[in-house]
């Protein structure tokens, strides 16, 4: 692909998610590369907007096609910290709720718009716990939209893990995080839950088994809202 940035011979695969591989460029920078064709321009724009308002995101240095060069963050994901016993799941829930609230309180980008900035994939794998506090990564789905959709998606994703639909080392223990999250989360976590379920069903990263159990995850979220 012509628009890919060169990876220096010294770089090593550093981490990988469902959609991207991350390479260490040097101590201060990583290269995140989507495995399938994607354009990071929109994502980089939202990240820069959030950063300009003091929201915790990695600084973006370059975005070209599937590649993004950004600030290297030091620290575990929220999920890793919880698994290591360094972060209580309830405290993780407080952090997630706070990160969503702060995001939804940013000024809307379009004048007169009632939409806010939404991430639409804010869960414990997409938060890194750093010295400057929790920092949000993986802005692929981010854009302008209703905050309640974002809150519903976070709840739904956590519920998918809680019911065992998405396999994750935290497993059913994440139940405690979900209930606390539902208590603290900004907005109304069920108002747009059906839209969140539809959005989730349409995601290419979801397996047929995961899609088949979305309804059960929706029911788990509803059961957690008092
Ligand atoms: N700026 C960064 N600094 C350090 N590590 C990062 C950074 N961005 C991503 N990572 C690492 O790469 C992993 C996958 O990144 P992510 O953006 O979530 O990709 P995916 O879309 O594949 O989930 C993260 O869990 C984290 O370990
Ligand atoms: Mg991710």
The full set of domain ranges for the chain reads 13-71, 78-224
CA of 167 to the centre of ligand 2 (A): 15
Taking only the tens place, the pLDDT of each residue in 19-49 is 899 999 888 999 999 988 899 999 999 999 9
Ligand 1 site, residue 198, Cβ cutoff 6 A: no
Structural class in CATH, domain 13-71: alpha beta
| Structure-model confidence comparison of residues 186 and 114, the more confident one | 186
Q: Check residue 110 and give its pLDDT.
A: 77
Name residue 108's beta-bridge partners: none
Q: Does the beta carbon of 15 lie inside 6 Å of ligand 1?
A: yes
Q: What ranges in 125-165 are assigned the alpha helix state H?
A: 147-162
Radius of gyration in angstroms for the set of CA atoms belonging to the chain, rounded to a whole number: 17
Residue tagged 């509803």 (tokens): 222
Instruction: Give residues with Cβ within 8 angstroms of 189, minimum separation 6.
Output: 148, 151, 152, 155, 182, 221, 225
Look at residue 1 and tell me whether its pLDDT is greater than 90: no
Verify whether ligand 1 is closer than 6 Å to residue 121 (CB atom): no
Percent of the chain with pLDDT over 70: 94
pLDDT, the chain, mean: 93
Task: Calculate the alpha carbon distances from 167 to 78, 152, 210 in Å.
Answer: 16, 20, 10
Tokens found for residue 162: 């809680």
The closest ligand to the CA of 21 turns out to be 1
Q: Is the CB of 138 under 6 A from ligand 1?
A: yes
- How far is C-alpha 78 from the chain's CA centre? 11
Ligand 1 contacts CB of residue 72 (under 6 A): yes
Q: What is the pLDDT of residues 107-151, one digit of tens each?
A: 988 776 778 999 999 999 999 999 999 999 999 999 999 999 999
Ligand 1 probe mutation, 15, 28, 70, 121, most atoms within 8 A of CB:
15
pLDDT at 9 exceeding the cut of 60: no
DSSP state of 32: E
Give 2's pLDDT tier (boundaries 50, 70, 90).
Answer: very low
CATH class as words, domain 78-224: mainly alpha
3-state secondary structure of 59: coil
Distance 224 CA to ligand 1 centre (A): 30
Residue 4 scores a pLDDT above 80? no
**Ligand 1 near 31 CB (within 6 A):** no
Looking at residue 18, its pLDDT comes to 85
The whole-number pLDDT of residue 167 equals 93
Count the neighbouring beta carbons within 10 Å of the beta carbon of residue 65: 17
Closest-lying ligand 1 atom to the alpha carbon of residue 70:
1
Q: Which of 2-6, 37-41, 82-86, 144-148 has the lowest mean pLDDT?
A: 2-6
pLDDT value at 102 more than 50: yes
Confidence of residue 10 (pLDDT cuts 50, 70, 90): low
Question: Distances from the Cα of 214 to the Cαs of 14, 149, 193, in angstroms?
Answer: 31, 16, 11
Residue nearest to atom 8 of ligand 1 (CA): 137
Mean pLDDT within 208-224:
97
Q: Which residue's CA is the nearest one to ligand 1's atom 22?
A: 17
Q: How many whole angstroms from 24 Cα to the centroid of ligand 1?
A: 11
Q: Minimum-distance ligand to the CA of 61?
A: 1
Q: pLDDT at residue 191 above 90?
A: yes
């Amino acid at each position: 692909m012509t628009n890919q940035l060169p990876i220096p011979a010294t770089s090593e695969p550093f981490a990988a998610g469902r959609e991207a591989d991350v390479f260490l460029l040097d101590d201060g920078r990583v290269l995140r590369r989507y495995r399938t064709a994607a354009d990071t321009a929109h994502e980089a724009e939202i990240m820069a907007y959030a950063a300009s308002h003091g929201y915790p995101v990695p600084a973006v240095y370059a975005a070209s096609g599937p590649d993004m060069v950004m600030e290297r963050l030091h620290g575990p994901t929220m999920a890793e910290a919880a698994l290591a016993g360094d972060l209580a799941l309830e405290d993780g829930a407080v952090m997630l709720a706070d990160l969503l609230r702060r995001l939804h309180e940013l000024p809307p980008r379009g004048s007169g718009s009632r939409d806010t900035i939404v991430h639409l994939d804010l869960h414990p794998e997409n938060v890194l716990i750093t010295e400057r506090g929790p920092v949000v990564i993986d802005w692929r789905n981010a854009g302008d939209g209703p905050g309640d959709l974002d809150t519903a998606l976070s709840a739904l994703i956590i519920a998918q893990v809680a019911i065992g639909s998405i396999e994750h080392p935290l497993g059913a223990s994440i139940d405690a995080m979900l209930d606390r999250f539902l208590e603290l989360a900004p907005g109304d976590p069920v108002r747009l839950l059906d839209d969140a379920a539809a959005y989730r069903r349409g995601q290419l990263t979801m397996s047929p088994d995961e899609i088949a159990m979305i309804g059960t995850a929706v029911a788990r979220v509803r059961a957690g809202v008092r």
